[in-house]
Structure formats: C-alpha cells, structure tokens
Structure 1
Amino acid sequence: MSDLDALHASIYARNMEGGWHRKSPALWPEPRKNFLPHVWHYADVRPILDEAGHLVDHRMADRRNLTMTNPVEGNLYATVRTMVAAYQSIKPGECADSHRHTPNALRVILEGRGSYTTVNGTRVEMRPGDVLLTPSWNWHSHESLGPDECFWIDVLDVPLVHLLEPMFFERHPDKLEKDVRNVEECELALRWETSMQRLDAAPETASGVAQREVELGSPALKTMAVHAQRMGKGFVSRTHRSTANAIYTVLEGEGRSRVGEHELDWRRGDVFVVPAWQPFSHTVAADTHLIRVSDEPVMRAFDMLRSAQP
C-alpha cells in the first residue's frame, strides 16, 4: 500500500479500526454527560392515570403504567442509563395476573390502602410509604381488595438487562399462583414505619447530601440500592456527585434540586433523576422524605463506585 489513506480504507473495509486513527475516542478522562436531569410531576400524572383507569383495561398490557422516558435525544425507554421508572395504578376489584422476568423490580407506594402484591407465593399489603421488592425471576401479581385506587412508582433495572441481553419474560401458566401465604410482614416489604424509626435513630450524614439517610436492605436488590432520606425545612445540602445513577421519589415535602445546570422543583409524589457524575444539591422548602433508588450495587461490584464533592 502506497499511503495511509489506502491502509485505512483497507482496514475499514474489513470492519476494523486502527487504534491510531479512531473516528471517535474510546476512552475519556471522566464520565460524559449523557442522560438529562429531569422531574415528573405527580399533579400532572395522576389525572392521566385516573382517565386511563376508565379507558385502559390493565390487561391490555399486563399493567396500567406510564413509563418515565428520559428526554435525552435518541432515548426511547430508559429513565436513566441502567434503570426505568413508571407510575402505576390499580383500581378496586382489579387483579394484575402473575408473571416473572429477569429484571429486578421494586415499587414505592404513594397512596391507597387495601392493595396487595404476591411474590413467589407470599402475599402482603402495599401501604403508603412502603417499598416492595420483586427480585429477579420471582412470580408476582397485584390485586386491589379495598375501596381505594392504589398508586405507586415502579423502578426496574430493565435498561441494564437490555444492555447485558439476558432478558426472559414468562406469564404464569395458571394466571395466578395457587399456594399463597398471607403475611403482615416479610423481608420483601420495607415498611414506612420502620424506615421512619430508623431515620429517627440515625446520626446526621457525614456527606451532607441529606440530614439523615438509611439504607433499606443491604442492598435491597442485587442491582439496585434503596435509601430513605430525611431533610428538614430550610436544609441546603452540600454539592455532591457519584458514578451511580439515581431515581428519587418524593414521599413528603417540597424543594428544589440543582443538577448540573438544571433546576428541578419537586413536591410530594414527584419523581426526579440525577444521572451519573452530575453535580447536584438540594434546597428544602418543607420537611421532606425522599426514597433514593440507585445502581450503586452494580458500580460497587465492579469497583467503579466513586463519589466527590466538586
């Protein structure tokens, strides 16, 4: 070959690339900003779910839910890189049939009593403020036996499974599990009252990202960690960033988070996201409790969990 252009053409023709002549870099000094900070407001979502309750039978798609799709250009599904969140509701008298899948899942209950989830034969009530866990490949169904419509936030690691590719999904052959054990408490139901008691006893955080924070489970799921946070009116957190992606549910209170150059106002029932390695801080306008779901277990497993205070 007479020159570099001919050499490069020969390399590209064989679906290869020379390390000295890359079209785009494969390595960079620190994580790039890809997914965007964003907030979804429950006040906007709840009327839509109410209307969907009249128009959309939950059996049309197994579940009646609204996926929160990150507005970054080109994204079709994920809320942050490794996780997806959705608002979901179930009306009195409804039952969502049992299925299982390789993605891990959890739900943060916003409102409504008398709804239950059954996970691998264990049936437990879903109460406001609770976090309910559904580990990978566990059968699970939901039903509403009380007078209330139940609303909650789902968080799953589906985008991570999409990336790794071991996606399996299966509907229960009998629609519902037959041998069911009713319980008041179990390790899959992280009760709001217990979380509050643990926060009462917790010391102030050294990092300053919240006044008090406790982890629910250790971790709650193999790919997702759950933390309950408490911040009093007037609290301003330190600026922080982490290689972990985070999805926040506002259980009580209101405030504003600055994430990078974005200002996110939030209140009870809202969901906001802090993508990896973007600096963030919170300013709290009323006594607040947040549930933070992150992919910290994934980052920690590969020794890639880092944090910093810029």
Structure 2
Amino acid sequence: MNKLDSLESLYQAFDGLSVEGGWYRRTPALWPEPRKNFVPFRWRYADVKPILDAAGHLVDHAMADRRNLTMTNPVEGNLYATVRSMVAAYQLIKPGETADAHRHTPNALRIILEGKGTYTVVDGTRVEMRPGDVLLTPSWAWHSHSSNGNEDCYWVDVLDVPLVHLMEGMFFERHPDKLEPDVVDADSSPIAFRWEDTLAALAVAAPPAHGMAEREVELGNPALRTVALHAQRFNAGFCSALYRTTANSIFTVIQGRGRTVVDGETIEWAMGDVIAIPAWRAYRHEADAESFMVRASDEPVMRAIGMLREEVMRQSV
C-alpha cells in the first residue's frame, strides 16, 4: 500500500475496498426532509378500461397468474412501484373464468369498481366481490378468483410488493392443486368490507381532524399490517385543508368527480381513477359532485418505526 500521507492518497486507498469516508461522501446520506423522488400521478380508468377489455380477448389466465395492468410511477428509473412502498394495478376477470390459487408474502387488497357475480377465495373462505367492496388478502394466504355471473368484473389491486422487495422477504407459491379443495361460502367475513356498511359508517362519522374529507372512516385497525385503509366522503363543493404526511398514499375514486391539487399541480379525477400521492407532498381535494374515495397508505409501517408525521399546513380558501 502506498504511503498514506495526504488526503489524495487516503482516498485512493478506499478504491477496491468498498468503503467511503463519512466526511467525504459522493452523495449525501442525510437530508433535512423527505426528497421528492416519486411523483404525483393519476391513472384514468376511462383510458385503461378499453385496454383491459382488449386484454380480455387476447390474454387468458394460462399466460399469467392474473390479468392486470400495473400502475408504474413515471419517475425516471422506476420499473414497477406506484409509490415507494406500494403498487396498484387494474384487474379484469370475465364471466366463467377462474384465476388459480397462489400465495405470497406481500399483503394485498382489492377495491371493486364494476361487475357482479365474481368471488374471491381466501384461505378456504369464498366471498362475493361487489362494487364498492374492499377485500383483503393477508400475507401468505391462499387466494383465487372466479366469476360465476354474466358481467365483466373490474377492480383495483393494492399490494405492498415494493416494500417486500426492499426488505428482501419475497416468497411466492402456486397451489399444488390449482384451487383449494374445501371451500366455505360466507356473506360476511373479516376480509370483506361491504360498501353498504362503509356508507352507513360514513353517514354517522365525525369530520376528521385533518380536514381532508367531510367524513372519514378507517376500514380495519389497520386493515393489514403494512397498509391502512380509509374511506372518505366529499359533498359537492367541498374543498379540503392543505395537508402532507410522511405516509405514501394511493387513492381510488369509487364515485364522483373533482380534482386534487398536489404541490400546485392540478389532477382531475372521476370514478375509477387512481391517484398516487407520494410522501410529504402537500395536497388538497376539491369535489365537484358527491364523491367517495378509498385511501390506501403505508401508515402502519411509518407509525411502527416512529416516522409518521402529519401536518395540516393551512385551510384552503
């Protein structure tokens, strides 16, 4: 080794050792607040639905485990995630189809947009999926989907796959018999949040302290270990507070129309649209008609590690 009698020779000694001086970093390791890496974005259901319909004729379940379209955040270099810790996808199942059972360590949920006569089976319990319902698939639970009706069924999937990727805890397995052999039907189940129950709860809910909706209820406590779900209601003309949180959020519009303003950028939305709001972005909602959204967030993760921060910045005018 060369004589280490100068900073230049010291830095040259780092080469090949995979070390870096904490006083001489190529890029910072700490910064004063969350960086704006992922970007706010909206996926229009009206744009995606025709593509799903075409895929319904061209893509069968022998070609993939699920017929879905992943919503990839358009930030440069991202190949998969919708926000840092979660991914969303639109999915279609057609009458008479069955998506075989599998299980994986990522937690998952589905928010039903349209279609009747479709069921999910989760660890042997078969539950109908109806518009507005939210269905859960906890980590490592067997799950399959099938349609016994005569309508196409569309929904939004939300999973914590990007978080599992980061933590290197991915396991995946297909069911050896393709489907679970012993299934019990249930109209009510801990894995199913029924839309009519959500509406009833919203009707009597108090206004949330953060001012982001006129009424809000949490679905579950939390719904999954890594994902919290909040149903929100907005009356026509409602304008929310301006708010930011360290939690990453994915909003699904169940009904209505309006806009969300994020860091000064306006995002219009309507029924079926999905909106990504990355961590620590200031945003507010404005509703043109009575509207309902389901917000999926990584609040449980941020709370568990002591990193959940929220700030109501000002009331909108």
TM-score for the superposition, normalised by structure 1:
0.99
Q: Aligned pair 1:72/2:75, yes or no?
A: yes
Q: Aligned pair 1:134/2:137, yes or no?
A: yes
Q: Contact conserved, 1:59 with 1:96, CA < 8 A, in 2? A: no
**Structure 2 partner of 1:113:** 116
Q: How does 1:98-247 map to 2 (within 5 A)?
A: 98-247=101-250
Q: Contact conserved, 1:110 with 1:128, CA < 8 A, in 2? A: yes
> Offset at 1:309?
2.2
More divergent stretch after superposition (202-211 vs 91-100): 202-211
> Offset at 1:205?
1.6
Amino acid corresponding to residue 196 of structure 2 in structure 1: E
| Whole-angstrom distance in 1 between the partners of 2:268 and 2:61 | 31
More divergent stretch after superposition (51-60 vs 143-152): 51-60
Amino acid corresponding to residue 152 of structure 2 in structure 1: E
**Structure 1 partner of 2:46:** 43
Amino acid corresponding to residue 246 of structure 2 in structure 1: T
Amino acid corresponding to residue 179 of structure 1 in structure 2: D
**Which of 277, 280, 292 in structure 1 is aligned with 2:280?**
277
SS of the residue aligned with 1:58? coil
> Offset at 1:16?
0.4
Q: Aligned pair 1:59/2:62, yes or no?
A: yes
| Whole-angstrom distance in 1 between the partners of 2:174 and 2:246 | 35
> Offset at 1:13?
3.0
**Structure 2 partner of 1:260:** 263
Q: Contact conserved, 1:207 with 1:238, CA < 8 A, in 2? A: yes
> Offset at 1:269?
0.5
SS of the residue aligned with 1:85? strand
SS of the residue aligned with 2:289? strand
> Offset at 1:263?
1.5
> Offset at 1:304?
0.6
User: Which stretches of structure 1, 4 residues or longer, exceed 6 Å deviation after superposition?
Assistant: none
Q: Contact conserved, 1:246 with 1:274, CA < 8 A, in 2? A: yes
Amino acid corresponding to residue 17 of structure 1 in structure 2: E
TM-score for the superposition, normalised by structure 2:
0.97
Q: What are the superposed Cα offsets for residues 258-300 of structure 1, whole Å, 9 maximum, x if unpaired?
A: 1113211100000001100000001111100000000000001
> Offset at 1:11?
1.9
Q: What are the superposed Cα offsets for residues 30-50 of structure 1, whole Å, 9 maximum, x if unpaired?
A: 111000000000000111111
> Offset at 1:69?
0.2
**Structure 1 partner of 2:299:** 296
SS of the residue aligned with 2:242? coil
**Percentage identity across aligned positions?**
63
| Whole-angstrom distance in 1 between the partners of 2:280 and 2:62 | 39
**Structure 2 partner of 1:95:** 98
SS of the residue aligned with 2:201? helix
Structure 2 gaps of 5+ residues are: none
| Whole-angstrom distance in 2 between the partners of 1:282 and 1:176 | 42
Alignment coverage as a number of residue pairs: 310
Q: Contact conserved, 1:116 with 1:125, CA < 8 A, in 2? A: yes
Q: Aligned pair 1:7/2:10, yes or no?
A: yes
RMSD: 0.7
| Whole-angstrom distance in 2 between the partners of 1:96 and 1:286 | 36
